[in-house]
Amino acid sequence: MKPRILQIVVISIALLGPTTARAQKTDDYLFNDSHFHLTNYIQEGISIRDFLKIMGNKAGRVALFGIPLQQQWSYRVDENRGPTYYLNSDAPLYYYSFTDAWIAMSYKSLSKDEQARFDPMITGFNPTDMYAADHIRRVLTTFPGVFTGIGEFSIHKEFVSAKIAGEVASLQDQALDRLIDFATEVGLVVLIHNDVDVPFAKPGVEPAYAAQMKALFKRHPNTTFIWAHIGVGRIIRPVKDQVAIVEEIINDPQLRNVHFDISWDEVAKYIVATPESTKNAAAIVNKYPDRFLFGTDEVAPPNQEKYLKVYNQYEPFWKLLTPEASEKVRKRNYERVFDEARRKVRSWEAANVAPRASSMAN
Ligand SMILES: [Zn+2]
């Protein structure tokens, strides 16, 4: 037992010490990005080295993931027109687990200093499958020292959920609870995409998924959640009581671990739509500055200008934030949430994953 304990201590020091120290110096950057896709719906994208150049001195740290879904190219449906986006084709999407290996290998190709700027996320699981938790465990075991969270994964997402081959996902599925329980045991951040309502909902009717989403959060009070896009979609506009839904979650002492990301140009579009909408959004963020994170939701951007689009789109909104709120939303909340997750996941790995070298020697 003794050498194993010593190994754990040595690994913990090696993994936690320098990484944490390095991870804290993001003062010179404009923002940390809590939501970024290196690859697209056909698993193509930019190299992580090119992305580092694009981040440049603008983005400090980035939560890094691919996309867990692959758009099938069905010759029967699309003949020689290979679709590159889910709206380009009637052929289905399917879960593509290899994305996790792709992200892990990209991360591992970097130097330690470069790695410190990324928080890779596991996404390649089917959230309707009771075995999804086992996939997450397998990824952590195969690539220890790499991942900080899971997601972005989607349960109800306009135009996407219905296209995925197999059973449609549900917030009330025990498979989802099982995988979140496991993520919580490990300490992984859970970045979940779920629209607050269905497309083309009847006016005046309660948003379809608000209550189910809150119930999910309640079932997992110790999980660090980030609700992507505050539940808004391309056509799922912020519902009338969106502010009330958000405030109810924020003010619930059992839901202190629920955060919201304001990523995606569609969300920015709603927030800065009018001076009044900008003012309303800034008021709620100024009131609860610890609960919102900036993210871009860019997918494999070809250059820095494209990558900074959402950040620049928010210009009128940034101007209305207090200096404290602006700093927290752009940088500090990311550091707090992801640093804590890194620490927890590394210590879970130290206790649960046999070191490679020793298993090879045995
Ligand atoms: Zn996204």
Tell me: pLDDT of 13 over 70: no
Q: How far is the CA of 264 from the centre of ligand 1 (A)?
A: 7
Dmax over Cα atoms in the chain, in whole Å? 66
Which has more pLDDT, 149 or 1?
A: 149
Mean pLDDT of 38-51: 96
Ligand 1 centre and the CA of 348: distance in Å? 27
Q: Residue 328: CB partners within 8 Å, gap ≥ 6?
A: 289, 290, 292
Query: What whole-number distance in Å separates Cα of residue 300 and Cα of residue 307?
Result: 9
The answer to whether the bond into 340 is cis (omega within 30° of 0) is: no
From ligand 1's centre to the CA of 358, what distance in Å?
A: 38
Asked if residue 239 has pLDDT above 90, the reply is: no
Neighbours of 309 (CB within 10 A): 15
pLDDT band, residue 4 (cuts 50/70/90): low
- How many whole angstroms from 261 Cα to the centroid of ligand 1? 10
Instruction: Indicate the length of the chain as a whole number.
Output: 362
CA–CA separation, 359 vs 200, rounded Å?
55
Ligand 1 ion local residues (Cβ < 5 A): 152, 297
Closest Cα partner for 67 from 303, 341, 298?
A: 298
Whether residue 300 contacts residue 40, with contact meaning beta carbons closer than 8 Å, is answered with yes
pLDDT tier for residue 25 given thresholds of 50, 70 and 90: low
- Give the Å distance between the CA of 262 and the centre of ligand 1: 11
Which pLDDT tens digit goes with each residue over 257-304?
999 999 999 999 999 999 999 999 999 999 999 999 999 999 999 999
pLDDT at site 241 = 76
pLDDT at 19 over 70: no
Round the average pLDDT of the chain to a whole number and report it.
90
Q: Ligand 1 centre and the CA of 250: distance in Å?
A: 22
Task: Compute the radius of gyration of the chain from its Cα atoms.
Answer: 20
Residue 9 Cα to ligand 1 midpoint, Å, equals: 36
Distance 141 CA to ligand 1 centre (A): 25
pLDDT at 333: 98
Helix (H, G, I), strand (E, B) or coil at 75: helix
Q: How far apart are CA 196 and CA 229, in angstroms?
A: 10
Give tens-digit pLDDT for 322-355: 999 999 999 999 999 999 999 999 999 999 998 7
Nearest to 311 by CA among 331, 289, 332, 330: 330
Tell me, in angstroms, the distance from the centre of ligand 1 to residue 308's CA.
Answer: 15
The Å distance, Cα 41 to ligand 1 centre, comes to 11
**Higher pLDDT, residue 355 or 167:** 167
| 160 phi/psi in degrees, rounded to 5 | -100, -55
CA of 286 relative to ligand 1 center, distance in Å: 24
Tell me the per-residue pLDDT of 127-160, one tens digit each, with 9 for 90 and over: 999 999 999 999 999 999 999 999 999 999 988 8
Which pLDDT belongs to residue 129?
97
152 alpha carbon – ligand 1 mean position (Å): 6
Whole-number Å distance, alpha carbon 35 to ligand 1 midpoint, is: 6
